Amino acid sequence: MDPLSLLALALALAMDAFAVALAAGANIRPLSFRPCFRLSFHFGLFQAMMPIAGWLTGLSLRAFVHHISHWIAFALLAAIGGNMIMEALKSGKGDTNNTDPSRGFTMVGLSVATSIDALAVGLSLSILEVSIWWPALVIGVVATLMTLAGLFLGSRAGAAWGRKVEVTGGLVLIFIGGRILLSGLHII
């Protein structure tokens, strides 16, 4: 795989992580080193490991994974987005919501949901008999950097617009999940 194609692929895969990081950055106040490290590390790690898992799985499970991956991503993103909206609306108007999406199940759920498409890429690279190790590294590094950028941009927007950004972030996660589902069902 040529370097330009690999970079384009890594950027495309990192877009979901970037969008989720925007929403997360708006929700983490104050944004500090630890949550930035946790979320960017996990998003990058999952984005790097999923293509490897897909590549190792190869052709034998391709049909199974292909048919359910969009449902898994949708369920995870809709649940997390819905929770973000409920938490934002539950809090008092003057309160700030300090839910940290860089911890526990939320972080793992977001990491899996944003990297499901990387699993399919790994399956595709396996079919094409392309070595996975260099692409997986590039995909992971790009996802890490895009996550950091999203966190910082989201934090600035969250500080400026407060609860509106948290609700919007939840809606964005649900929208991304819906887009993945519709794409997987070949509707869009």
Digit-by-digit pLDDT tens for the chain (188 residues) are 788 888 888 988 888 888 888 888 887 778 889 989 999 999 999 999 999 998 888 756 656 666 777 787 788 778 777 877 887 777 654 444 556 777 888 888 888 888 887 887 887 778 677 889 999 999 999 999 999 999 999 888 766 666 676 677 678 778 877 887 888 788 87
Helix boundaries (H) for the chain: 3-27, 33-57, 62-90, 104-127, 133-161, 163-184
DSSP symbol at 187 = -
User: What are the domain boundaries of the chain?
Assistant: 3-184
Q: Which residue type, as a one-letter code, is found at position 23?
A: A
Write down the pTM of the prediction.
0.71
